[in-house]
């Protein structure tokens, strides 16, 4: 009988960063050069990693650009639907009770949703929250200037792979 044991470490990317860049782009219609600014969002462990990840992602499309800003965001999660081009920031509010003191506190969470419009973003958030145990409300939805969002696709890292062989006598 043989048994494989994998030591798996789960890395949770909780920090989302917004990175703004500026670059020169040639207009295909008249050949003129124009300055263009764009914002991207990605998750990373640090500012340095966020900048390095973006550079690796963009190097084939935008080889030279100036980094204007890199900032941590207060985004809880992202809902991506690649069928649509626009990203919306959705603010969700709910009331939480402290079990020790019994005091109630209003909690606000922000999400980024790729959707067709405000109504579509609302419906996607509503579907996401369906069945939750707290009463929530969506006080605001706004269209963002994000060009793209790059989450980590593989969050599992296999550290050691060992095999144990048990011999039955």
pLDDT tens digit sequence for 115-129: 999 999 999 999 999
How far apart are the C-alpha atoms of 86 and 75, rounded to whole Å?
16
Tokens of 156: 């599992």
pLDDT reported for residue 167: 45
How far apart are the C-alpha atoms of 165 and 133, rounded to whole Å?
47
Tokens of 147: 């060009």
pLDDT reported for residue 44: 92
The tens digit of pLDDT for each residue in 86-106 reads 999 999 999 888 778 888 889
pLDDT reported for residue 143: 97
Choose between 94 and 161: higher pLDDT.
Answer: 94
Please tell me the pTM assigned to this model.
0.77
Q: Look at residue 30 and tell me whether its pLDDT is greater than 70.
A: yes
* 113 exposure class (CB count in 10 Å sphere: 0-12, 13-18, 19+): buried
In terms of CATH architecture, what is 12-73?
A: Roll (3.10)
pLDDT reported for residue 62: 92
SS3 sequence of the chain: CEEEEEEEEECCCCCEEEEEEEEEEECCCCCCEEEEEEEEEEECCCHHHHHHHHHHHHCCCCCCCEEEEEEECCEEEEECCCCCCEEEEEEEEEEEECCCCCCEEEEEEEEEEEECCHHHHHHHHHHHHCCCCCCEEEEEEEECCEEEEECCCCCEEEEEEEEEECCCC
Q: Look at residue 66 and tell me whether its pLDDT is greater than 90.
A: yes
| All residues at 6 or more sequence positions from 157 whose CB lies less than 8 Å from its CB, including other chains | 8, 9, 11
Task: For residues 77-92, give the mean pLDDT.
Answer: 94
Q: Look at residue 169 and tell me whether its pLDDT is greater than 80.
A: no
Task: For residues 144-151, give the mean pLDDT.
Answer: 95
pLDDT reported for residue 14: 65
In the structure, what pLDDT confidence band is assigned to residue 155 with cuts at 50, 70 and 90? very low
For the chain, give every residue range classified as CATH 3.10.20: 12-73
């Amino acid at each position: 009988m043989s048994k494989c044991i994998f030591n798996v470490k789960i890395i949770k990317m909780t920090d989302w960063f917004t990175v703004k860049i500026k670059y020169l782009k040639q207009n295909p219609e008249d050949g003129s050069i124009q300055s263009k600014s764009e914002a991207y969002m990605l998750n990373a462990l640090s500012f340095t990693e966020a900048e390095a990840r973006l550079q690796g992602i963009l190097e084939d499309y935008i080889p030279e650009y100036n980094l204007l800003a890199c900032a941590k965001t207060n985004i809880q999660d992202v809902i991506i639907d690649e069928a649509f081009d626009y990203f919306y920031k959705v603010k969700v509010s709910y009331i939480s009770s402290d079990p020790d003191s019994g005091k109630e506190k209003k909690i606000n969470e922000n999400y980024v949703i790729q959707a067709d419009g405000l109504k579509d973003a609302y419906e996607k958030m509503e579907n996401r929250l369906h069945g939750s145990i707290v009463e929530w409300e969506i006080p605001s939805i706004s269209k963002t200037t994000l060009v793209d969002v790059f989450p980590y696709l593989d969050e599992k890292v296999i550290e050691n792979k060992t095999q144990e062989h048990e011999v039955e006598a």
